[in-house]
């Protein structure tokens, strides 16, 4: 079931629209359901060659020698591409926005740093011919010690994974191995707290598992240009990355994409375009490079693992007074986008709650595994898992209903967030109220009456301030709503189920303009008519 709750925040919207809000059928629906939408791999091109890459069998090894003579003579093989053939072999994805240093080769030339790292490419008349020729390449390796655990990687004497970042951590602000968050005084918060809880959380990597694997086709065009059909999620991001690696002007590349069979973040890394364009340049022929499912699952970048330690201090009345987070992003062997996600994670701490003391250190750590990348919820998903499990444990520890506990601590308009920006346009409380009502999860009256729009700001959120103090008369804006926040909490008896108010019968009256509604009765199908 799906319902739009137009009654909530109605006074903040103009609903007098024609096309917006309509359940119009998707422009591409017919193509998708009849199988006629054109994806990158639906282009039929005469004389198409196929690129496959040789991947490292070791997680960390020095390449002593490569013998590809037999592969070069194999049936159907048109060209072998070696690291030396790549014009600009070393790159980092975020160099386009001047973030981080070039640290990842398109083809490894001396050291392989993860199992599956590309070493050379073979272009052949069929995928099968290319794969069979790969089997004829002889590489001799000296294996090196490898590290797979983020905390092991930070210990003195740990194997150094990434030559650009020899200490196994990305560098922030030219001086730190992590991004900091400092707001208030967490130690004072813990000292004041009735209950302190510290827990460890771990999210393993996750595969995007798109129906369409990563791939692209490069076709030589006139004027020295190349048409590139691609599954990328970011057309110009991939174009500019491919132009840099190939050392060609960006207007030599004509990228065509736009209809993609699922991405979820796994098609930002431009893993096929640079080499397929190089292959087309070196052979003068159209070339396709597409990941097999095995490559997509093991060597296409996954969502990286994260390890998160959370320490919270909470008062018996339900207020969280301090939250301290230490987290490690497992970036794999190279940076890709994990360095960016660390900062996004720091921005998200301490979650959608107003906590006067917050502290975080978040690290981007290199290990000898497949480089990690963006995935749906990048930098936030694992943190939300940790924080929301933590919220549940805290509620149990102080004997409070888990939804009421969240509503009590939820951020409100005017609250100061830990990254020092004022919260506005908040709606966490309302979401909790509506979901609870729909699930017949009883909330007590004062929690059903709370609002994101009332009671925020002032000393509620000032860093380090003890919010249990009585409100001063100088803060009239929060006085009305402050009282229920300080309800003393004993372990509640099972609350009597409150029948949800009847919905839909009386239509809501025209909403008065925002800002003039304080204290005025207002209809809501969640709460019935009430005084705000």
Q: Which of residues 169-228 bind other proteins (CB under 8 A)?
A: 172-173, 175-176, 179-183, 199-207, 209
Structure tokens at 262: 């699922």
**Cα separation of 264 and 258, whole Å?**
14
Task: Select from 78, 290, 406, 522 the one that contacts other proteins (CB under 8 A).
Answer: 406
If the CB atoms of residues 205 and 471 are measured against other proteins, the closer one turns out to be: 205
Q: Does residue 380 bind other proteins (CB under 8 A)? A: yes
Closer residue to other proteins in complex, CB, 71/305: 305
Give the start-end residues of each E strand in 98-236. Answer: 104-105, 111-112, 118-124, 138-143, 179-183, 195-203, 215-220, 226-230
CB of 280 to other proteins, least distance (A): 16
Q: Regarding beta strands 320-332 and 358-366, do their DSSP bridges make them parallel or antiparallel, or are they unpaired?
A: parallel
Q: Which of residues 431-460 bind other proteins (CB under 8 A)?
A: 431-436, 438-439, 441
Using the minimum distance from each CB to other proteins, give the nearer residue, 109 or 344: 344
Nearer to other proteins, 262 or 471 (CB): 262
Region of 401-409, 454-462, 477-485, 495-503 interacting with other proteins (CB under 8 A) = 401-409
Sign of CA dihedral 265, 266, 267, 273: positive
Residues 344-363 that bind other proteins (CB under 8 A): 344, 346-348, 351-352, 360
Computed over its alpha carbons, how large is the radius of gyration of the chain? 28
Map residue 111 onto helix, strand or coil: strand
3-class DSSP assignment, residue 387: helix
> Under a CB-based contact definition with an 8 Å cutoff, are residues 406 and 432 in contact?
yes
Residue 381 in the binding site for other proteins (CB under 8 A): yes
- 76 or 413: CB nearest other proteins: 413
- Using the rule CB under 8 A, give the single segment among 76-84, 311-319, 343-351, 475-483 that binds other proteins: 343-351
CA–CA gap between residue 229 and residue 168 (Å, rounded): 36
Restricting to residues 59-118, which ones interact with other proteins according to CB under 8 A? 59, 97, 115
For other proteins, the binding residue among 1, 46, 247, 470 (CB under 8 A) is 1
The minimum distance between CB 107 and other proteins, in angstroms, equals 22
**Measured from the CB atom, is 201 or 523 closer to other proteins?**
201
H helices present in 411-508, as ranges = 428-438, 445-449, 476-485
Two tokens at 25? Answer: 């059928």
CB of 84 to other proteins, least distance (A): 29
Q: Which of 159, 402, 464, 501 binds other proteins (CB under 8 A)?
A: 402
What is the C-alpha separation between 94 and 340, in angstroms, rounded? 8
Enumerate the β-bridge partners of residue 526. none
Kindly state the smallest distance separating residue 209's Cβ from other proteins, in Å: 7
Please name the residues in contact with 294: beta carbons below 8 A apart, sequence gap of 6 or more. none
Cβ 310 to other proteins, closest distance in Å?
Answer: 10
Q: Calculate the CA dihedral of residues 105, 108, 111, 117 and round it to 10 degrees.
A: 100
277, 226 Cβ separation under 8 angstroms: yes
CB of 170 to other proteins, least distance (A): 13
Please tell me the distance from the alpha carbon of residue 148 to that of residue 391, in angstroms, as a whole number: 30
76/402 with CB nearer other proteins? 402
Which part of the chain contacts other proteins (CB under 8 A), choosing from 25-33, 43-51, 277-285, 317-325? 25-33
**Among the listed residues 481, 475, 489, 494, the one whose alpha carbon sits nearest the alpha carbon of residue 450:** 481
What CA–CA distance (Å, rounded) separates 375 from 330?
13
Output 88 or 256, the one with its CB closest to other proteins: 256
Of 50-58, 311-319, 367-375, 469-477, which segment contacts other proteins by CB under 8 A? 367-375
Is residue 491 involved in binding other proteins (CB under 8 A)? no
| C-alpha closest to that of 162 among 208, 119, 214, 102 | 102
Q: Cβ of residue 201: shortest distance to other proteins, in angstroms?
A: 5
Q: Which is nearer to other proteins, 77 or 345 (CB)?
A: 345
From CA 378, how far away is CA 521, in angstroms rounded?
Answer: 42
> For residues 28-57, which are near other proteins according to CB under 8 A?
28, 32
| Cβ atoms of residues 395 and 401 within 8 Å | yes
Q: Quick check: 340 binds other proteins (CB under 8 A)?
A: yes
> Closer to other proteins at the Cβ: 37 or 125?
37
Footprint (CB under 8 A) of other proteins, residues 223-282? 232-237, 239, 253-265, 267-268
Size of the site for other proteins (CB under 8 A): 129
Q: Helices 402-409 and 381-398 sit at what angle, rounded to 10 degrees?
A: 110
Closest approach, Cβ 32 to other proteins, in A, equals 8
- Please tell me whether residue 322 binds other proteins under the rule CB under 8 A: no
For residues 531 and 440, give the distance between their C-alpha atoms in angstroms, rounded to a whole number. 23
Q: Going residue by residue from 278 to 317, which x/- string records binding to other proteins, judged by CB under 8 A? A: ---------------xx--xx---x--x------------
Measured between its terminal Cα atoms, the distance across the chain in Å is 30
């Amino acid at each position: 079931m799906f319902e739009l709750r137009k009654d909530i925040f109605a006074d903040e919207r103009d609903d007098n629209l024609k096309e917006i809000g309509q359940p119009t059928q998707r422009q591409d629906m017919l193509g998708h359901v009849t199988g006629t939408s054109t994806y990158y791999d639906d282009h039929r091109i005469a004389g198409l060659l196929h690129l496959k890459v040789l991947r490292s069998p070791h997680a960390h090894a020095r390449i002593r020698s490569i013998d590809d003579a037999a592969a070069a003579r194999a049936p159907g093989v048109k060209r072998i591409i070696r690291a030396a053939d790549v014009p600009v072999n070393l790159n980092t994805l975020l160099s386009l926005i001047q973030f981080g240093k070039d640290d990842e080769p398109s083809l490894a030339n001396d050291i392989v740093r993860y199992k599956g790292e590309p070493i050379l490419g073979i272009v052949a008349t069929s995928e099968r011919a290319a794969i069979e020729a790969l089997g004829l390449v002889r590489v001799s390796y000296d294996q090196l010690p490898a590290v797979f655990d983020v905390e092991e990687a930070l210990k003195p004497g740990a194997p150094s994974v990434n030559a650009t970042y020899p200490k196994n951590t990305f560098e922030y602000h030219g001086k730190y191995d992590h991004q900091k968050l400092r707001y208030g005084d967490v130690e004072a918060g813990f000292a004041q707290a009735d209950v302190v809880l510290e827990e460890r959380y771990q999210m393993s990597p996750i595969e995007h598992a798109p129906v369409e694997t990563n791939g692209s086709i490069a076709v030589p065009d006139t004027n020295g240009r190349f048409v590139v059909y691609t599954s990328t999620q970011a057309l110009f991001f991939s174009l500019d990355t491919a132009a840099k690696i190939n050392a060609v002007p960006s207007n030599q590349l004509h990228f065509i994409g736009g209809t993609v069979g699922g991405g979820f973040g796994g098609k930002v890394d431009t893993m096929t375009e640079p080499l397929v364009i190089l292959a087309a340049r070196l052979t003068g022929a159209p070339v396709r490079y597409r990941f097999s499912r095995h490559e997509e699952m093991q060597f296409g970048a996954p969502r990286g693992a994260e390890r998160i330690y959370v320490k919270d201090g909470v008062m018996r009345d339900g207020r969280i007074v301090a939250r301290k987070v230490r987290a490690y992003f497992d970036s794999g062997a190279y940076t890709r986008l994990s360095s960016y996600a660390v900062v996004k994670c720091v921005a998200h701490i301490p979650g959608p709650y107003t906590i006067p003391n917050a502290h975080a250190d978040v690290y981007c750590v290199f290990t000898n595994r497949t480089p990690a990348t963006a995935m749906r919820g990048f930098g936030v998903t694992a943190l939300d898992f940790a924080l929301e499990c933590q919220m549940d444990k805290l509620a149990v520890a102080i004997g409070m209903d888990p939804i009421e506990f969240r509503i009590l601590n939820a951020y409100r308009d005017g609250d100061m967030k830990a990254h020092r920006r004022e919260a506005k346009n908040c709606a966490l409380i309302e979401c909790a109220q509506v979901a609870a009502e729909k699930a017949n999860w009883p909330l007590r009256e004062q929690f059903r009456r709370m609002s994101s729009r009332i009671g925020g700001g002032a000393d509620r959120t000032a860093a380090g301030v003890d919010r249990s103090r009585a409100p001063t008369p100088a803060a009239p804006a929060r006085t009305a709503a402050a009282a229920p926040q300080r309800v003393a909490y004993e372990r509640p008896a099972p609350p009597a189920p409150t029948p949800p108010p009847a919905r839909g019968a009386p239509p809501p009256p025209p909403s008065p303009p925002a800002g003039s509604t304080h204290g005025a009765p207002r209809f809501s199908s969640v709460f019935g008519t009430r005084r705000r």
